[in-house]
Structure 1
Amino acid sequence: MFHHKPIQEMVIYQIYTRSFKDSNGDGVGDLAGVTEKLEYLSSLGVDMLWLSPFCSSPNDDMGYDISDYQNIMVEMGSMEDLERLLEEAHKRNIGIMMDLVLNHSSDEHPWFVESRSSRDNPKRDWYIWADEPNNWDSYFCPEAWELDEKTGQYYLHIFGVKQPDLNWRNQELREEIFRMVEWWLEKGIDGLRLDAIHLIGKPEGNPDYVHAPGESKQFCHFRNHELGHKYIQELHKRVFSRYHPVTVGETGGSTPQSARLYVDKARHEFDMIFHLGFLEEGEFEENPARNYKKFYEKWYEQLSQEGWDAVFLGNHDLARMVSVIGDEERYWKESATCLATMILTQWGTPFLYQGDEIGMVNAGFTSLDQFRDPHTTIKYRVAEEKGQDTEKVLADIIKWGRDNSRTPMQWDDSAHGGFSEAEPWIMMARNWQHINVARQEADPCSVLSYYKKAIAMRKSNPCLSYGRMEMEKSDPAVFAYRRSHEGCSVLVVLNLSSSPAAFNMKAFNKDQILLSNYPGIRQNVSGLFLRPWESLVVKDR
């Protein structure tokens, strides 16, 4: 039986299931494939696996459009496969976190099929309908409303046309959602990552957005709305408080102040949140040290008072961190291990994304037809229709497109990287023969070996799990901070650049070094000389 640690002591690993391991030779990763790799995951030292959506779906948005909340997507396997995964993971004291989409469903879900059948259907009010569209925005489409010709009304879709928004104002719908979430927890699910949960609170009457100077139009009318908090608190009271799963709410685009409301323990909402605050400090890749300092000054101050945070640099919606933040051409290994040090020494629960532990990089796409994310294609077509520079748009997609993080996991240098015996659903990244698990497992100096050391270091040091965080003055390219807890202190120094840098600190002995990604340390009376992408963790008391 799985007994999860306090969230402060956990390391969570995200699996994009369709790209992790194919067990049946159809070119698509599946739940049985995850079970096959549990020994690998256990050796890495992670405590919980966050699986991308596996409920039934037509896959218009790769599973984030659910057509049956209590069944398994055909490509992912069967309910028996999930039950075996839970059993085998729990034997290794590894928990399973489910990615659940509650802001919207698929338009193929029976609820919506009923809802759109007639204006007087009992489930009509389970979705959001209007005689005329308002001016709200959609993430994936030019408009957030779609006309249903049969009934003559428009339905709301904050994401794709095939992803109609659920109407959380409807008590019957909420009761059905609470029952469904409880059903999964009874089945043995240990954690919940709730997608786009900060969008569920739509104001009564769907009023138009009124522009205010300096304010973005996008989503402001319903993102982080007080009604959303009310519904989440109801979900906590009815379900979370009884089963105590690890809960993570996705709240992208939130401010530190609005995000704090979700994790304030006295409010009874979530354990932690997923936001993209570090990307909102400008062009992150141009000066990551400066931008991360700015990010943490704002976010740590707010969330550390009464709450907790999730720490990550990679996930299924972002390009590979070594390609867009690190330096994959000149300092691939150094930047991969430096970024690992940063994630695993921050305040908050670290979330690692599959493949980052071996330093996977962007795919090397060269044309639009290589992408599988439908909304990447939509972005290009819209740009084309608007007469924009499509070469520039394609270059931007090639670098930043989220399919970069969705290419198959690179297990070995065989055909298809050991991911599948068949042609994968998406192309292999360009360098799987050189960057793969098999090649790194036997190398004590590999990126994978470094991740294992860094995870073990975090778990053995309470400063890194519980300690408060204080920024240190440093060179613009250096991100340095101290973690302190109950009389002990750990100093973390990161050169987040491809140039040498210096850091002023007192001399220390070799036996004080907990972790370093370069052989040998260069220091003198004035401090520390840092090589490109050098990282150092020192116990200074």
Structure 2
Amino acid sequence: MKQEWWKDAVVYQIYPRSFQDSNGDGIGDINGIRMHLDYLKNLGVDVIWLCPVYKSPNADNGYDISDYQDIHPDFGTMEDFDRLLQEVHEHGMKLIMDLVVNHTSDEHPWFRKSSSAEATSYDDYYIWKDRPNNWKSRFQGSAWTYDEKRGQYYLHIYTVKQPDLNWENEAVRRDVYKMMNWWGKKGIDGFRMDVISMISKDQSYADGPVGEHEQFGDGSSMYINGPRVHEFLQEMNREVIQNFDWMTVGEGVGVDTREARLYAGFDRKELNMMFQFEHVEQAKGPLGKWTDRKPDFLRVKEILDRWQTDLEGKAWNSLFVENHDYARSVSTFADDREEYRELSAKMLSIALYMMKGTPYIYQGQELGMTNYHAFSIDELQDVESKNAYQFYVNAGEVSPEEMLKYVNCAGRDNSRTPMQWNTEENAGFTHGTPWLPVNPNYMYLNAEEQIGRTDSVFTFYQQLLAFRKSAPAILWGSYRMIGKEHKQLLAYFRTMGEETYLILCNFSEKEQSTDTLKLRQQTEAQGKAYWKQVLGNYPSGHSVDMLRPYEGVIWKMEKES
């Protein structure tokens, strides 16, 4: 297997608005990121993924771009970005940008020209219809809005201020590729591609099925993994990607393992890897994602196992459990009570990052940051959360108190609260008023307290990432899950040649016996061998036969002489 640089790299996602404010306006910025490059290098990061810093009206926090080749003043200037890129490279790290080309802002010059009453060459840059179909926006309401100037409806799968580009138009694709090449020549190291699985729409624009009590139809099957998406990405690869030594990862909304092998297959000449969301979307209730239920652990295990096995030898996995669109992993998948928070955070890192693929760490995850408890919807900024709150409360399906509880569990602002650097005002994030409230637990949960503490989550991440890079069986070896039906334990082997590791993780607050895993029988099948602990989240070792609450351990098989 070809060992491209991005396969053994560690990626750290930065949400700039919440990372570090350098000028006191309450909003994180590019110069704030520059202040912490040593921190990232010290952690073990190889690649920084930078969420959008482009010019934007911020209807969806930067994912509504009005100029792809300029920087939003909140974040600084292009000169600031150039300095950041230079310093990232000087630190021996790489930087990838967010590419958002399923849609633009309605304030982008392309859309302003397209919506004009006068005929222009931009008429078909977006998707216009005299009569809309019944598709619903992913942020509630219709996916179509009437434009008075043009006298037609335009499609927006997301907010009304995010009109979808018409990728059927060759001129659109040509302009997108031109912009991508511009960034490549500037020296960036690749792109994370936002909702890239949505760029091709079924040209019939048929109505989607309407669920019970639903006003609008679900047209997702008509715009996810559309008929020309792979043609478009192969064209993008020829026109742009192959010109650079890039890392490319696509956000695969609605992508299963079969589709992932197409998007990121080793012989497909499209993308390096895809993000999939099955495992982080298993907490479902009557209102979909808006629930306080915990994910189905057996289902999560099945999904992780399937992605490992189905992509083996065919495509590369991305390993993530947090990003800017999902709640904090320790609050979602484990236990954020103070007794178990650090144990849980460490255990989750073992469970995920010992699998095969490229690790992604979201800012604050390496500290075990937790969900934020809002006392009012007015404390939050996320457009999705606010729209859902208004929709379900106004529809009488849930009380305001209940809906706020659901938002506190599943809302996107949970991962967007400011980074917790120290115990100074606003956690050291800003000297001004932060754009989003700081989680009050920063007084004891912060980077300064953890750096150098031998048993901190941060230190454990350092150790885990260093071990990962030193172990060929973890980077490149085969994978096999055992105990698939166990309701509390995650267990799997990683093997390459004579080197075998056993990963054991307890996802409960009770001790769990490993008897049902039949480890002794499996060890005996290897001849005279025993298990030696390599790394664990408890201060002292323990037996392979029993796991303590939220314990995670990496064992190495040793042969007796």
Give the RMSD, CA atoms, in angstroms. 2.1
Question: C-alpha separation between the residues in 2 aligned to 1:73 and 1:182?
Answer: 20
2:443 is paired with a residue whose SS is coil
Determine the structure 2 residue equivalent to 1:377: 386
Corresponding pairs, count: 533
Q: 1:326 aligns with which of 318, 334, 355?
A: 334
Q: Tell me the alpha carbon deviations over residues 398-447 of structure 1, each in whole angstroms, 9 at most, x when there is no partner.
A: 11111011011111001011111111111000200100011111311111
Question: C-alpha separation between the residues in 1 aligned to 2:530 and 2:381?
Answer: 49
Give 1:510 shift. 9.7
Question: C-alpha separation between the residues in 2 aligned to 1:341 and 1:298?
Answer: 18
1:155 is paired with a residue whose SS is strand
| Unaligned residue ranges in structure 2 (runs of 5+) | 285-291
Does residue 522 (structure 1) correspond to residue 537 (structure 2)? The answer is: no
Give 1:291 shift. 2.5
Determine the structure 2 residue equivalent to 1:103: 102
Q: Following superposition of structure 1 onto structure 2, how do residues 355-434 of structure 1 map, counting pairs within 5 Å?
A: 355-389=364-398, 390-434=400-444
Amino acid at match of 1:303: L
Question: C-alpha separation between the residues in 2 aligned to 1:136 and 1:286?
Answer: 30
TM-score, structure 2 normalization: 0.91
Does residue 351 (structure 1) correspond to residue 360 (structure 2)? The answer is: yes
Question: C-alpha separation between the residues in 2 aligned to 1:66 and 1:199?
Answer: 17
Q: Tell me the alpha carbon deviations over residues 239-276 of structure 1, each in whole angstroms, 9 at most, x when there is no partner.
A: 11111310000012222222221111221111011110
Question: C-alpha separation between the residues in 2 aligned to 1:178 and 1:105?
Answer: 15
2:271 is paired with a residue whose SS is coil
Determine the structure 2 residue equivalent to 1:157: 156
Contact residue 285 and residue 325 of structure 1 kept, 8 A: no
Determine the structure 2 residue equivalent to 1:473: 483
Amino acid at match of 1:495: N
Contact residue 282 and residue 291 of structure 1 kept, 8 A: no
2:423 is paired with a residue whose SS is coil
Q: Tell me the alpha carbon deviations over residues 438-472 of structure 1, each in whole angstroms, 9 at most, x when there is no partner.
A: 11113111111111001101111111111121011
1:99 is paired with a residue whose SS is strand
TM-score, structure 1 normalization: 0.95
2:124 is paired with a residue whose SS is helix
Amino acid at match of 2:548: R
* More divergent stretch after superposition (379-388 vs 269-278): 379-388
Determine the structure 1 residue equivalent to 2:446: 436
Question: C-alpha separation between the residues in 2 aligned to 1:324 and 1:296?
Answer: 16
Determine the structure 2 residue equivalent to 1:134: 133
Q: 2:304 aligns with which of 296, 308, 313?
A: 296
Question: C-alpha separation between the residues in 1 aligned to 2:460 and 2:219?
Answer: 41
Contact residue 201 and residue 228 of structure 1 kept, 8 A: yes
Question: C-alpha separation between the residues in 1 aligned to 2:241 and 2:22?
Answer: 33
Does residue 485 (structure 1) correspond to residue 496 (structure 2)? The answer is: yes
Q: 1:311 aligns with which of 319, 329, 339?
A: 319
Q: Percent identity?
A: 39
Contact residue 319 and residue 404 of structure 1 kept, 8 A: yes
Give 1:303 shift. 1.9
Give 1:320 shift. 0.8
Determine the structure 2 residue equivalent to 1:223: 224
Q: Following superposition of structure 1 onto structure 2, how do residues 36-47 of structure 1 map, counting pairs within 5 Å?
A: 36-47=35-46
Amino acid at match of 1:372: Q
Q: Tell me the alpha carbon deviations over residues 40-62 of structure 1, each in whole angstroms, 9 at most, x when there is no partner.
A: 00000110011110110000000
Contact residue 12 and residue 363 of structure 2 kept, 8 A: yes
2:267 is paired with a residue whose SS is helix
Question: C-alpha separation between the residues in 1 aligned to 2:260 and 2:357?
Answer: 14
1:273 is paired with a residue whose SS is strand
Give 1:186 shift. 0.7
2:81 is paired with a residue whose SS is helix
* More divergent stretch after superposition (336-345 vs 104-113): 336-345
Q: 1:535 aligns with which of 544, 552, 558?
A: 552
Contact residue 281 and residue 294 of structure 1 kept, 8 A: no
